[in-house]
Amino acid sequence: MDLSTRYLGMTLPHPLIAGASPLADDIDAVRRLEDAGAAAIVFRSLFEEQIAMEQMADVINIDYHAESSAEASSYFPSPHAFALGPFQYLELIRQAKAAVSIPIIASLNGTTPGGWTEYARLMAMAGADALELNLYRIATDPDISSAQIEQQMIETVQQVKAAVSIPIAVKLSPFFAGLAHLARELDRAGADGLVLFNRFYQPDIDVEDLTAVRTLHLSDSSELLLRLHWMAILSGRVQASLAVTGGVHTALDVIKATMTGAHATQMVSALLRNGPAHMRTVVSDLSAWLEKNEWHSLAEMRGNMNLFKVPDPEAYERANYMLMLQSWRG
Ligand SMILES: Cc1cc2nc3c(=O)[nH]c(=O)nc-3n(C[C@H](O)[C@H](O)[C@H](O)COP(=O)(O)O)c2cc1C
């Protein structure tokens, strides 16, 4: 069965990618993902703050690894909290490129344009085939408008694009008033791919200890629906290739994502829960489903459930909303 796809200008044998996570933190883990059939691997993120601290340490000649940078925000985790420091990150890219033949996508995580985006060049020089730029940000300053925030995102993408010639994908959150507009502007700024969506890790509250409780819950397939919705809206409207992250656990999840227009589907929770070998099961289930349902290739169904041909998607969305509310029958 032909499951091949094009993502970020790369031809992949199938759309299943290991998403940004601890799944590929060392070379043995990278090899295990390739053996399990991953079409590509996204490394966990290197954060703007990590790079800025490293650069600051270079300039003022302090030991970044000794926790001596009093200037840093008191909220900022100690360097030891990160599985990979900036130099280790580059070394892991180099080692992975020597060890496996599948594409390695490095991940940079930051929110504002600045010197840290230069790190993209080092990642490319270390051998990364592509970059995923995660623009995770919770905007809390009432003086900063949505337009300003979006402009900063666009400038960040432009800076990274200017630093490298490898493709870059932008990982977004779903919470924008004008997501379709932002997607088009990122497209124009040169994003080669859009990755929908970041999950928001919302701390709970321990009401006795009066502390925030951080527990990272893994996803299930119900989280896919938000991604399908936006994939259906954006597919056909941007040049960038599209990937889903969030709620991809089964072959049916991959099929739904492809039908709404996805070129790639990233998996994290399912692999953390079931082990890397789950990837092979999903790919084989995918082939079996296509054969049973008489599809000749995955490409044939791509975007057949998107809203591109719907004359007035906004009215269609509103109609769906009303119908959904009226559908409840107790
Ligand atoms: C333990 C863990 C670590 C993660 N680390 C990163 C990261 O460093 N950068 C990033 O962009 N996403 C990170 N993610 C988010 C995943 O890449 C993915 O977008 C999210 O888990 C949703 O996909 P899933 O439903 O397949 O888990 C992480 C997720 C988990 C569970």
The model's pLDDT over 10-51, given as tens digits with 9 standing for 90+, comes to 999 999 999 999 999 999 999 999 999 999 999 999 999 888
**For the whole model, what pTM was predicted?**
0.94
pLDDT of residue 238: 97
Q: What is the residue with the minimal CA distance to atom 30 of ligand 1? A: 21
User: Any idea which of 76-80, 143-147, 300-304 has the lowest mean pLDDT?
Assistant: 76-80
Q: What is the residue with the minimal CA distance to atom 24 of ligand 1? A: 246
Q: What is the residue with the minimal CA distance to atom 23 of ligand 1? A: 246
Atom of ligand 1 nearest to the CA of 42: 17
User: Any idea which of 148-152, 236-240, 326-330 has the lowest mean pLDDT?
Assistant: 326-330
Q: Compute, in angstroms, the gap from residue 21 CA to the centroid of ligand 1.
A: 5
Atom of ligand 1 nearest to the CA of 195: 19
Q: Compute, in angstroms, the gap from residue 108 CA to the centroid of ligand 1.
A: 13
Atom of ligand 1 nearest to the CA of 219: 25
Q: Compute, in angstroms, the gap from residue 289 CA to the centroid of ligand 1.
A: 27
Q: What is the residue with the minimal CA distance to atom 25 of ligand 1? A: 246
pLDDT tens figures, 62-113 = 554 444 445 556 677 888 889 888 999 999 999 999 999 999 999 999 988 8
Q: Compute, in angstroms, the gap from residue 192 CA to the centroid of ligand 1.
A: 20
Tokens of residue 57, six digits: 């340490």
